[in-house]
Amino acid sequence: MQAERSDGGATDPRVDAVALARTVARLCAAAKVPWLHEEAARRMADRLPLMKLQPQRVLDWSGPLGGSDSLLQQAYPQAQRRAVLMGGWPAPAAPARRRWTWRRTASSVVPVPASEVPAGEGQLLWSNMLLHGRSDPQPLFGQWQRALAVGGFLMFSTLGPGSLPELRSIHRAQGWGEPWVPFIDMHDLGDMLVHAGFADPVMDQELLTLSWPDADALLRELRGLGANVSPRRHAGLRTPRWRERLVAALQAQAVDGRPRLTFELVYGHAFKAAPRAPVQAQTALSLDDMRSLIRAGKPSPT
């Protein structure tokens, strides 16, 4: 989860910055990344063989909770991989960062701050389960488009608005406010990709419905996936009586005695096309755009 602006400024007003920082620090301190992140990474990696391009430079823009390192190493063992570091995560001296640097990141991976990623650096930009912490992904899409080389491809996963309908219905019925920050529809994400300059965006999704022996087990595992960081969530601490009502409501929805939760996984894929020179009486191009136009005759990676 991430909710900082691409310029490193204030967090998005749809996200409680303090709650998000606490949640990220707690998840980074855990022994493993969230299991749902690992599952999304595995499902996204299953799509990599469809790409004809064998990238030599890979940007993993997932943060320490992406759970993707071993998959990318297996898919592209010869590639130079960079782990992009973003503002808003625990400071480098914190235990969570040390754990990520030495235990979760292979020695072949080079960390690089997001602000220092060179233009045109990556042939594959990979981002797993990061995007749903932003209510406005457009600035980040622009940053990704700049970081990719012409012909490079973007692959990302995120949670969609079909996630957690069971919790939403309970909160709505009880008047408890939002149980989670609302997620962005995949069609809107596709439009944003086009607006950012990506070509041939493809968006798809799948629903995962999981069940647990009881509501207590469900809530314990849900805490390992994150927390409610919506500013419109219930103010103040919850009471044991409130938790009892939540457990009872979840159990009332159970099928064959097993309460369920549904997650919508959204996958996005797009290419960076060569820039087109505008048709004008006088045309000014940056040096990077001119180089890209010169290289535009290279074969397509698809």
Q: Write out pLDDT tens, residues 36-87.
A: 999 999 999 999 998 988 999 999 999 889 999 999 999 999 999 999 987 6
Residue-number span of the structural domain to which 140 is assigned? 17-161+181-209+265-297
Report whether 288 contacts 176 (CB < 8 A).
no
Q: How far apart are CA 45 and CA 72, in angstroms?
A: 8
Supply the mean pLDDT for the chain: 83
Judge whether 279 lies within some domain. yes
| CATH number of the domain residue 46 falls in | 3.40.50.150
Q: Model's pTM, two decimal places?
A: 0.81
For the chain, how big is the Rg over CA atoms in Å?
21
Give residue 19's pLDDT.
Answer: 78
Judge whether 289 lies within some domain. yes
CA dihedral 71, 225, 95, 65 (to 10 degrees): 30
State the burial class of residue 106 (Cβ atoms within 10 Å of its Cβ: 0-12, 13-18, 19+). exposed
Report whether 130 contacts 32 (CB < 8 A).
no
More confident residue, 275 or 48: 48
Interaxial angle between packed helices 215-223 and 240-252, expressed in degrees from 0 to 180 and rounded to the nearest 10: 110
Judge whether 257 lies within some domain. no
- What DSSP letter does each residue of 139-191 carry, written as one string? HHHHHHHHHEEEEEEEEEEEE-TTS-HHHHHHHHHHT-B-SSPPPPPHHHHHH
SS3 35: helix
Q: How far apart are CA 302 and CA 138, in angstroms?
A: 25
Question: In total, how many domains does the chain have?
Answer: 1
Q: How far apart are CA 242 and CA 93, in angstroms?
A: 38
Q: How far apart are CA 32 and CA 23, in angstroms?
A: 14
Judge whether 5 lies within some domain. no
Q: Write out pLDDT tens, residues 173-215.
A: 998 888 888 889 999 999 999 999 999 999 999 999 999 999 9
As given in the structure block, the two tokens for residue 120 are: 């045109």
Judge whether 172 lies within some domain. no
Give residue 140's pLDDT.
Answer: 94
Report whether 53 contacts 171 (CB < 8 A).
no
Report whether 149 contacts 120 (CB < 8 A).
yes
Judge whether 240 lies within some domain. no
End-to-end CA, the chain = 31
